């Protein structure tokens, strides 16, 4: 969806990545939506989802294939010169790392917003961010009563909180704020261009 702001626009792409949490019904029930331990044998999601437990793994595979094609086409028609490109998904890009690395480089995705892990993360210009200079964040706001570690009573940690994004035509300020109101992580994102952007083709005339 394209959202217009004064002087610029953002193309948001909302992608279902639950394929990374689905598998054969006998697989680990802790990390498998399609498992046969927590789902009844006759379970069905009706017309909106897998028709049966046996269909579940294939349904998510088909959905991922359709979404991958949709995302490819959408990014191809997004004007990276004038619009920011932000992908929103449940799983961080370390799930499907090869896929996301390729998409980011070829299309110039500026930022990925994700969840899944129950803590706040900001990855931008550090050496081990394989998507740099693009940024990706883990929001840290989900998880209910669970967290990755014991939260600090004063909020001097990254276990719970939210991210504040201040969008502008030339940069996006990224700020994580803990459950205690503490500013924990901060960076400024500049627009990324697709790989090879601006390279003119040289044609030699005979």
Neighbours of 95 (CB within 10 A): 16
Cβ proximity of 14 and 6 under 8 Å: no
Kindly state the tokens that stand for 71.
């995302």
**Which phi and psi (to 5°) does residue 134 adopt?**
-75, 155
Cβ proximity of 165 and 176 under 8 Å: no
pLDDT at 29: 87
Cβ proximity of 87 and 112 under 8 Å: yes
In angstroms, the first-to-last Cα distance of the chain is 46
Instruction: Say how many residues make up the chain.
Output: 206
Cβ proximity of 110 and 135 under 8 Å: yes
pLDDT in tens, the chain (206 residues): 999 999 999 999 999 999 999 999 999 888 899 999 999 999 999 988 999 999 999 999 999 999 999 999 999 998 766 789 999 999 999 999 999 999 999 999 999 999 988 889 999 999 999 999 999 999 987 656 678 888 889 999 998 889 999 999 999 999 999 989 999 999 999 998 887 654 444 333 43
How far apart CA 26 and CA 43 sit, in angstroms, is 15
Q: Give bridge partners of residue 175 from the DSSP assignment.
A: 164, 186
Cβ proximity of 83 and 8 under 8 Å: yes
């Amino acid at each position: 969806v394209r959202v217009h702001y004064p002087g610029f626009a953002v193309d948001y792409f909302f992608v279902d990545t639950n394929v990374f949490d689905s598998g054969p019904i006998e697989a680990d029930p802790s990390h498998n939506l399609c498992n046969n331990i927590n789902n009844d044998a006759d379970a069905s999601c009706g017309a909106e989802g897998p028709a049966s437990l046996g269909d579940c793994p294939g349904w998510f595979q088909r959905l991922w294939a359709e979404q991958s094609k949709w995302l490819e086409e959408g990014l191809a028609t997004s004007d990276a010169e004038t619009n920011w490109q932000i992908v929103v998904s449940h799983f961080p890009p370390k799930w499907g790392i090869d896929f996301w690395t390729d998409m980011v480089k070829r299309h110039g995705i500026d930022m990925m917003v994700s969840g899944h892990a129950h803590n706040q993360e900001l990855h931008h210009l550090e050496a081990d961010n394989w998507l740099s200079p693009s940024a990706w964040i883990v929001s840290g706001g989900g998880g209910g009563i669970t967290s990755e570690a014991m939260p600090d009573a004063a909020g001097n940690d990254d276990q719970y909180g939210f991210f504040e994004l201040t969008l502008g035509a030339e940069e996006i300020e990224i700020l994580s704020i803990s459950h205690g109101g503490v500013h924990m992580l901060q960076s400024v994102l500049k627009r990324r261009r697709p790989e090879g952007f601006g390279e003119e083709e040289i044609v030699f005339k005979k």
